[in-house]
Structure formats: C-alpha cells, structure tokens
Chains A and B, each alone.
Chain A
Amino acid sequence: MATVEKEQQAVSTNGHYKVIGTRPIRHDGVDKVTGRARYGADTRLTGMLPAAMLRSPHAHANIKSIDTSKAEALPGVRAVVTSADLPDATDRVANLGEGTVNLKHLSDNVLAGDKVLYRGHAIAAVAADNIHIAQEAVKLIQVEYELLPPVLTALEAMKPDAPLLHDDLRTDDLGEIADTPSNVATHIRFEKGDVEAGFAAAEVVVEREFHTATVHQGYIEPHNATALWNADGHITIWMSTQGTCTAPQQTAELLDLPVSRVKVVPMEIGGGFGGKISVYLPPVAAILSKKTGRPVQLVMSRTDVFEATGPTPGSAIRIKMGVDGQGRITAAEAWLAYEAGAYPGSPVGAGAMCVFACYDVPNGKVDGYDIVVNKPRTNAYRAPGATNAAFAVETVVDEICEKLKLDPIEFRINNGAKKGTRRIDGPVYPRIGMEETMAAIRDCEHNRTPLEGKHRGRGVATGFWFNIGLKSTAQATVNPDGTVALIEGSTDIGGTRASIAMQLAETLGIAAEDVVPTVVDTDSIGYTDVTGGSRVTFATGWAAYLAAKDIQGQMIERAAKIWDCDVTAVDYKDGGVVGPDGKRFSFKEIAAEAHKIGEPVIGRGSADPQEPGGAFGTHLVDVEVDMDTGKVTILRYTAAQDVGTAIHPAYVEGQIQGGAVQGIGWALNEEYFYDDQGTMRNSTYLDYRMPTTYDLPMIDTIIVEVPNPGHPYGVRGVGEVPIVPPPAALANAIYQATGVRMHELPMSPPRLLHEILKQRASNGDQ
C-alpha cells in the first residue's frame, strides 16, 4: 500500500490544485440528460422472458405446502421456482461485503423456505412469454399457510411472551449464548470510565426515551436483475447494484457455485443509498434462466421495493446525559434497541458507536440490542444507525443547554470531540473537523441573522459517520493522443466517475476532460468493494491516484530511453516529464512518443486504505409551525460539513443537500405505517411521503476542509453524514417554535398537533 505524500496536502484546495476543486461537467452527464443511459430494466436480450414473483400476503406464517401445478399448466408459462430450487444453505456462513452473513437467512430471504416472516416475503417466481401471463400464473400458485401472530416493534419483540420469528435464534448476550430462543439476536455494550461517579458530579441530568419509525431509502429505480445461465455453466447478470463485486459473490454463494462462474454487468443505478447492496433477485432470475435456457428478467414494483427490500430500522432509544456547572459533560448512557427486520443484522452496532461520537464523554456506557421483527430485513441506509441515535442524543443536548442556559453551539464546541478524544467504544480520533463545522455554523450569515416572527424556531444539531476504506481497483490506458481511458469497478451513484477521473487527472497534470472513465463488469476489473460507506471517492480515487503514479513511472522510463539518460535524471512534474538540460515532454507529447517506441502504457492501481477519516456535519434550520395543523414549514437550512478535500465541489454540495433532504423526510413525514396484521398501509409514493421540491428551501452548504491525513489528497467520504443531523435539528427548531419537545419520528402533523393540543389543554387555554 502506498504512503501518503504529505507535501501534496494543503489546508484548503483553494488554488493548490489544478483539477481538484474545479467543477467539470460529469463524464456521464450527456447520457443521463438525453435518456441514453442504460439502466437495468432497459436490458433487452434475444429470447428474454419476463418473470413475476409470488409474495406473502401475511406478515408471519408457516408455509404448510406450495402447489405450483396450476401455474405450470397455464399456457405460456416457461418455468416456476420456489425455495426447493435453491441449494440447501443450512449452517453456511459467508463474508459477503456486508460483514458476515448467515447464508440460510440470506437464502430464506431470497425465497422463503418453511416460513414467511414479513408481508412481501418472496415465495415463488414464474417466467412466462409475457409479463401478463407470468402475473396470472402467480395467482394460480396455491400456498397453504398456518398464520402466526406478527410482532412489529423492537419493544414488543423483546417481551418474554412475544411470538418468536426463529425458534433457533438465541441471544448473543455480551458474548454468551442464551439457552432459550428469543427475538433478541445480540446484546452489545461499550463502557468507558466510571458512569456512576460521572452522574454524581453532574449539575443537571436529563433522561429521555425516543422512538423512530422504519423508513426506506426511497431510490427512484426499483431493483431489477436480468440473468442468463449459459450452456457453458457461466452466469451473467445485468443489474442495478452498489456492489458490483459483492453481488456475484452473494449470488454464487446462494447458488453454491464458484464466484468465477458469475459475472455481473453493473448497469446505471437510479439511486441506492445503501439499499442496493443486498441481493434479492439475481439467484431467482438465474435459476429461471437455467430452467428455461433463456435470459430472464425480474423487475420489482414500488410496493415490492417497500415491502421486501431493506428499509432502515425503527428503534427505541433511551439517553441519559449529565453535565456539570461548568457546562462539561460528566457522564452519558445510551440504551438502543434496533429492529433488524426478519433476520438479525440491524446497524445497532454502528448506532452504539455513533451515539456519543461527537462529544468528549469521560464516563459512558452504551447498550445495544439487535431485534428481529416481522418486517423486511433491514439494510444499509446512508450512515446506517447513526441518524436514529443522533435524533435522541442531540435532542437531549438541546434540552440540557436550555436548562443550564448554555448556547447550544458553544456547548458543542466546548464538549466536542477532537484529535485525541477517545470514543466510548475505544478508538482515539486522528485530526477531525467536528469543531470546525460547529464554528462554521456559528459564524455563518444564517446564524447571525435573527429569526423573527410567531411560531418560528431555529435548531442546530451535529452528527458523525465513520466512512470506510476497503478495496478498490483502477486501470488506466494511455492513448496515443494523450487521453487516458480509465476503467473501474465502482458503480457511480453520486458523480464518482468524475471525482475518480479528476484524481487521476490531477496526478498526471492533465485535464479532467482528457480522462474517459468507464464502470466495467466483474470480469474486466480487479476486485472492488461496494459503493457504500462513503468510500468511492476516497478509496477508488486512491486506486486511480496509484494508477496515475504507475503511468508517471512508465513515462519516466520511456523518456529516459528517448533522451538516453538514467531514469534518476528524469522527473514527472507539471503535467509532463522533465529531463537533463531542460528537456521536457508534455503528457500529450510523451504519450505520442511512447506509442511509437514501445509497449502500450497501462497504469494499474489497487488500494486497500485503512484511514477513511471520520466525517462530521452540523446543520442549522429555521422552521415555522402552523399551530392549528401541526404542519412544519422549513424556512431556511444550512449544512456545514468537514469533507477533507472537495474533489468536485458541486457533487460534494449535492451529497450534502441530498443527505439533508432525506433526513428532513425522515424527520417530518416518512414512516412505514403498519396495521396490526403487519401490512404496510402506505407502500406507494402517494402515502409514503418523501419531500418534494415544493416542501424544501434551498439547502445552503458550507464546505469545511480539514484534510484527511489518511489520503493523498486529503479526501474524506461525504455521502452519508449529512443525513444524520436533520431530525434532531428540526426537533430542536420545532421546540423553539412551539414549546413542544418531540420524542418520536416522524414529527408528522398529526403527531405534532397532538402534542400542541396536549400542551394547550394543560395550559388551560383552548
């Protein structure tokens, strides 16, 4: 692994770099705006069959029998699959890019075995001559269910007499496996210092309980997969995925095949936000293809996406925090119960690490519980686990500041985590920018402008996300005309073709437009981890940097050959090679020369960087509340974030704005609304209310650049942390506007009006 060249780093990108910090037009822009970009569902192959799925109408039931004979007899039906067609996955465990996965759970999630665990759980699929026949055939599949009572929230599922989802699931309680089955998969704990003494030293202690609803990532493009099981035994899958290399791994494991037998062609992706890492459709489409000898395509409906793909967990959280007379945090405690959905694996671990991550907490204790419930298996969603926790802790911090008459921004600066602070879960921070984002918000024009008017309030909150490093590969071919063809394996969700190409261009000293980046299939590039964890610009960018360094080295050798001098006499700088006696070739010149006299120049870069650099964001929001309806109008919004180095500032701003908007939706209206039978009643975009442009002001951004010491250009991941602060910032603003503290998400009009009316009744007015 390469070391960081410290001299390349600067405190600000302002004027330091030629390409980094500029805003070139994205390389994939024309295809996107002309509609020429090809998404998974655009895939059309000769002889392709469409397929439809049978999904459970029940939230919890044993499957007594499945009879597919009538469906198979329908004219035009080509094949039917059920879990009987999947290899037995009992007791197999695999590491598939999302941590360790119990394959039996993954397999049962793809096609239910003897039990359905949530409404929408896939049971069978039919490939037919057209989609209408496939859909008719699905209705002819007869399933005999034995209905079981559903359990829908973490707190209900934790009760001793709660219906059990898995009779073989025993709690891993701080490393000890319990004797009896339970819906509690795991109990973890982090501790630091002496919590009891810490609370004893506090002047004010606030303890509150919070609840948050299940919410979905809400990507525009539904999941899709088109599979061809070729006669030679090789499988090709065209799909929308965040894990170009993990999708074939998961698919191969589920089909019990070597990974080399599965190739994934990543199509353009219409949003993912973490939800397009898990594999749902590819193994099913692959088996249908094997049975029919034809390519088979599966595309989810919006309701399928809501009911059967990973939302982020609902949660119950208790926070207790003590602060002394000098305004210093003395102790903090958190209790977090996260709904994993139907199978273990909620992000409660991340939530438990993030909950107090913005603060220097001398004495702390955090307990986390991973709980299964009759809802779809949860999946990553932008800083998974952190937003729930931040809503709780940042609301408590606001209340403490109010009680002690402390300025909430100064309080956060005084107690903020900085270089050397040890988190409760152990790690000690390197150079981070929490304090800088706070100061940026304190000093911004928005904060210095007083907010006037009735029922208006201003709120602030901060948030943390780790980001990740992991493995990436890039390969760059130098063309004789001095352009560079860059291939990579990171699905481009947020403009990363541009941000990766720009790092290659910066390193070679050429224009961003002279790099042509392409995302390629898994047979064409080295292993690359998921587009997630805010890692692509950081880690795949690093691979591109290494590919460029490789090219530099080859160009130096080539120039030394031409100039007939030692390679040590040649250097690469200012976009070209320089040699003895003022000799110089620009990159274009050496590219042309190199083509004439030797082998093609191909740079390779593979990276596995370890220091992604944590990201902090602080948001400030002004709201106005309609006291007669509980409706919240956002008047003004500013988000400040430490991004390390902004490679392409427009896309950094876009990430911050997008994250803030998703956090606003989570805060105000989004929720999985279930009836008591476990049916989601709002599985459409009409009733699952994400904000539209009419509901939002411009999200102003302040880019703070505290370069990451763990990256050649100082990059920190930017994509996730902006979703973390909004619910708390809004809750704090709503309190200022109304005098009502909200402890439950979403803070929808019925819920807020209920609290306002309650307050009015207790104040004795009408």
Chain B
Amino acid sequence: MHDFEYEAPTTVADAVQLLANHNGSARILAGGTDLIDQIRLGRFAPEVVVDVKKIADLQALEISADGLKLGAATPCYRIYGDEAVCRDYSALADATKIIGGAQIQSRASVGGNLCNSGPAADSTPALIALSARAVIAGPGGTREVPVEEFCTGPGKNVLQPGELLTALVMPARPAHSGSHYLRFIPRNEMDIAVVGAGASVVLDAAGETFVSARIALGAVAATPLYAKEASELLAGKPVGDEAIEAAMAASRKIAVPIDDMRGTVEFRKHVTGVLTRRALEKAIARARENAGS
C-alpha cells in the first residue's frame, strides 16, 4: 500500500483548510469502507488522508420541523437505528440496512456513499426520492446541491478541490406520505445493486390519489437518476395500475444501463420497471398507514 499522511481535524474549517492546502492530493476518510480498499488496490494514491469523523457536525442526526439533517459521516447503523428516520424517511432506513453487513454498517456513512459516487450506491436513490440536498463546505463558504445533481459520472461528483460534504438535508415529510428503497441482487445479502429504485409518495387523505411522487433509479446509468417524467406524471392520478404502469414505462425510458458481469441491458431495463412498481407499491402502502402525527 502507498504511504500517506493521516490528519483528523475537529472542525469543518480545519478540514477545509487541509483539503485546500493539498490541492487535490488529499482524500477524505469517513467510514473508510471504500477508501481503504481503493488505496490498497492502487486506485488512489493520496498524499494525505483527512479523517472527518472527529468533526461533531458531521456526526449529526437531527429531526426538526424543517426536516432531517444528517451529518455526512453519520454511520448507517445510527440511521436505521433511529425510530423517527424509520417512520418518516423509510427509504433511507431501507437503504442503510442493506449496505454491507453489520461491520460495514458500523462504519460506512451515507455521505461517504454519495461522495464515492458509484452508480449503484444504495443510499443515493433513497436520498433523491426524499428530495435531499447536499451541503458542501469549501474555501469560499457553503453551498447546497440537490443530490440528483451531485454525481457527474462513475466515481465523479461536483466537489471541487478543498470542498467537503458536511451534511444531507431533507424536507419534513407530510402526512399520508411514504417511501421505500429496494434493489435487485442475485443473492439475498452481501451484494451490490444490479438495479436499485427509490420512491416516495404523498397521497391524498383518502389514500386514493397521488399528490406528488419522486422516483429515483440506481445502477442503470453512469450516475443515480432522478426519474423526472415518471415522478411528475403521477401527480393528480388515481393510485392504481394505470398510473403505476405509466411510471414504469417512463422509468424504463431513461434507463441507459450497460452489459456487465452484474447484468445485461435487457435485464436492467426490464427490472427498472419491475422495481419502480415494487418501490411505489410499498411506498403507497406505507403512506396509507401514515395518517401523520
């Protein structure tokens, strides 16, 4: 393994300073479940590794009237271990429960999953479905980016040298809303998504009409996708097969997957529709149980 220096700042300002000083030759360490392997395999050869776990703000998990604020380094187990997250942000709980096994979930963070920017990242479609925004600190201050605009290609994202993802913020969930994330894997555990789908819906009080919906897809393009047309066409439609099938077709239309060792184009396109349906159906069921608090 390549030699590197290790730094563990305790404030965002110090972290940003360190990153800026190394002008692109630093890598950020949160849980390290991707980074350590990438350094070991020679994909990255950073001069310095900046551990951000000791920054208190990056370990936040706060639910308020404004919504959910999730520190970028907050590990998965704390997310799915939080009752309010499980109730109101179910898709995020679903995703963090299936990333790796217990050991990985104790370290790995949703922020790290997003910054690694893999097309098959499990938590990213859940974030997109829940309208999450990425909060980024940098030498020039703080900016926010919708999560669906964060990734720019496999392993690539909008972070500039010196920038650090500090938090993910999601709006409060209204009554009669529900969400779900699921993925297709050939095995039942310890696997990577061949296709992933996240959905959130808001229904009318009767639970019969979509007020709004957001659908997101993973592993079917170079980046996780927000399925805009599929999401928007549901608004105002009665909950039923006709609307869902229209959303399935619209989801399939934007899927531009590749043939690889995990699946074929044919398989991924077909399953994109199947998982769109399954994600919606579970989100709808949850919304119908959720009369609001």
Q: Is A31 an interface residue (CB 8 A)?
A: no
Q: Is A757 an interface residue (CB 8 A)?
A: yes
Stretch at the interface among B8-16, B51-59, B87-95, B188-196: B188-196
Chain A residues within an 8 Å CB radius of B1: 132, 135
| B282 CB, min distance to chain A CBs, angstroms | 15
In the complex, are the beta carbons of B189 and A694 less than 8 A apart? yes
Q: Is B187 an interface residue (CB 8 A)?
A: yes
CA distance A748 to B3 in the complex (A): 41
In the complex, are the beta carbons of B190 and A692 less than 8 A apart? yes
Chain B residues within an 8 Å CB radius of A749: 184, 186, 194, 263, 267
Chain A residues within an 8 Å CB radius of B271: 628-629, 753
In the complex, are the beta carbons of B191 and A753 less than 8 A apart? no
Chain A residues within an 8 Å CB radius of B264: 750, 754
- B3, B262, B274: the one contacting A687 at CB < 8 Å is B262
Q: Is the interface of A mostly helix, strand, loop or mixed?
A: loop
- B188, B262, B274: the one contacting A628 at CB < 8 Å is B274
In the complex, are the beta carbons of A689 and B187 less than 8 A apart? yes
Q: Is A736 an interface residue (CB 8 A)?
A: no
Chain B residues within an 8 Å CB radius of A629: 184, 271, 274
Q: Is A695 an interface residue (CB 8 A)?
A: yes
Query: 1/0 contact trace for B228-252 toward A, CB 8 Å?
Result: 0000000000000000000000000
CA distance A437 to B99 in the complex (A): 43
- B184, B188, B192: the one contacting A692 at CB < 8 Å is B188
Measured as residues with beta carbon below 8 angstroms from the partner, the interface class of chain A is 20 to 34
Q: Is B5 an interface residue (CB 8 A)?
A: no
Q: Is B261 an interface residue (CB 8 A)?
A: yes
Q: Is B266 an interface residue (CB 8 A)?
A: yes
CA distance A687 to B191 in the complex (A): 8
| B189 CB, min distance to chain A CBs, angstroms | 4
In the complex, are the beta carbons of A681 and B261 less than 8 A apart? yes
Q: Is the interface of B mostly helix, strand, loop or mixed?
A: loop
In the complex, are the beta carbons of B267 and A695 less than 8 A apart? no
In the complex, are the beta carbons of A750 and B266 less than 8 A apart? yes
| A84 CB, min distance to chain B CBs, angstroms | 27
CA distance A65 to B131 in the complex (A): 57
A739-766 CB contacts (< 8 Å) to partner B: 748-750, 753-754, 757
Q: Which of B187, B192, B261 has the most CB of A within 10 A?
A: B261
In the complex, are the beta carbons of A753 and B267 less than 8 A apart? yes
Q: Residue of B at shortest CB range from A754? A: B266
| B281 CB, min distance to chain A CBs, angstroms | 12
Chain A residues within an 8 Å CB radius of B3: 132
CA distance A750 to B264 in the complex (A): 6
Query: 1/0 contact trace for A613-634 toward B, CB 8 Å?
Result: 0000000000000001111000
A678-719 CB contacts (< 8 Å) to partner B: 681-682, 686-687, 689, 691-692, 694-695
In the complex, are the beta carbons of A692 and B266 less than 8 A apart? no
In the complex, are the beta carbons of B262 and A630 less than 8 A apart? no
In the complex, are the beta carbons of A692 and B187 less than 8 A apart? yes
In the complex, are the beta carbons of A689 and B186 less than 8 A apart? yes
CA distance A682 to B189 in the complex (A): 17
Chain A residues within an 8 Å CB radius of B191: 686, 689
CA distance A132 to B270 in the complex (A): 46
Chain B residues within an 8 Å CB radius of A631: 184, 186
Chain B residues within an 8 Å CB radius of A681: 260-261
| B197 CB, min distance to chain A CBs, angstroms | 12
| B286 CB, min distance to chain A CBs, angstroms | 21
CA distance A714 to B261 in the complex (A): 46
In the complex, are the beta carbons of A753 and B270 less than 8 A apart? yes
Query: 1/0 contact trace for B261-293 toward A, CB 8 Å?
Result: 111101100110010000000000000000000
| B120 CB, min distance to chain A CBs, angstroms | 11
| B20 CB, min distance to chain A CBs, angstroms | 29
CA distance A681 to B266 in the complex (A): 19
CA distance A668 to B187 in the complex (A): 10
B181-229 CB contacts (< 8 Å) to partner A: 184, 186-192, 194
CA distance A567 to B184 in the complex (A): 74
In the complex, are the beta carbons of B260 and A669 less than 8 A apart? no
- A686, A691, A694, A695: the one contacting B192 at CB < 8 Å is A686
Query: 1/0 contact trace for A8-32 toward B, CB 8 Å?
Result: 0000000000000000000000000
| B192 CB, min distance to chain A CBs, angstroms | 6
| B292 CB, min distance to chain A CBs, angstroms | 33
| B79 CB, min distance to chain A CBs, angstroms | 22
Q: Is A219 an interface residue (CB 8 A)?
A: no
Chain A residues within an 8 Å CB radius of B194: 749
| A333 CB, min distance to chain B CBs, angstroms | 33
In the complex, are the beta carbons of A757 and B189 less than 8 A apart? no
Chain B residues within an 8 Å CB radius of A145: none
CA distance A132 to B260 in the complex (A): 32
| B247 CB, min distance to chain A CBs, angstroms | 15
In the complex, are the beta carbons of B261 and A682 less than 8 A apart? yes
- A132, A694, A750: the one contacting B187 at CB < 8 Å is A694
Q: Is A585 an interface residue (CB 8 A)?
A: no
CA distance A436 to B112 in the complex (A): 57
In the complex, are the beta carbons of B188 and A750 less than 8 A apart? no
CA distance A51 to B190 in the complex (A): 32
Q: Residue of B at shortest CB range from A746? A: B186
Chain B residues within an 8 Å CB radius of A668: 186
In the complex, are the beta carbons of B188 and A748 less than 8 A apart? no
A626-665 CB contacts (< 8 Å) to partner B: 628-631
| B37 CB, min distance to chain A CBs, angstroms | 10
Q: Is A673 an interface residue (CB 8 A)?
A: yes
| A717 CB, min distance to chain B CBs, angstroms | 31
Chain A residues within an 8 Å CB radius of B187: 669, 689, 691-692, 694-695
CA distance A689 to B263 in the complex (A): 13
- B186, B270, B274: the one contacting A748 at CB < 8 Å is B186
CA distance A749 to B266 in the complex (A): 11
Chain A residues within an 8 Å CB radius of B186: 631, 668-669, 689, 748-749
In the complex, are the beta carbons of A694 and B184 less than 8 A apart? no
Chain B residues within an 8 Å CB radius of A757: 266, 270
| A748 CB, min distance to chain B CBs, angstroms | 6
CA distance A483 to B192 in the complex (A): 53
CA distance A757 to B190 in the complex (A): 28
CA distance A669 to B262 in the complex (A): 10
| B62 CB, min distance to chain A CBs, angstroms | 34
CA distance A748 to B187 in the complex (A): 10
CA distance A631 to B186 in the complex (A): 7
Chain A residues within an 8 Å CB radius of B263: 749-750
In the complex, are the beta carbons of A750 and B267 less than 8 A apart? yes
CA distance A689 to B262 in the complex (A): 10
**25 A-B contact pairs sorted by A residue (CB < 8 Å):** A132-B3, A629-B271, A630-B267, A631-B184, A669-B186, A669-B187, A673-B261, A681-B260, A686-B192, A687-B261, A689-B187, A691-B187, A692-B189, A692-B190, A694-B190, A695-B188, A748-B186, A749-B184, A749-B186, A749-B263, A750-B267, A753-B267, A754-B267, A757-B266, A757-B270
18 further A-B pairs in the complex, CB-CB below 8 A; given A692-B189, A748-B186: A132-B3, A628-B271, A629-B274, A681-B260, A682-B261, A687-B262, A689-B186, A692-B187, A692-B188, A694-B190, A749-B184, A749-B194, A749-B263, A750-B263, A750-B266, A750-B267, A753-B270, A757-B270
Q: Which 4 A-B pairs have the closest CB atoms?
A: A750-B267, A673-B261, A694-B188, A682-B261
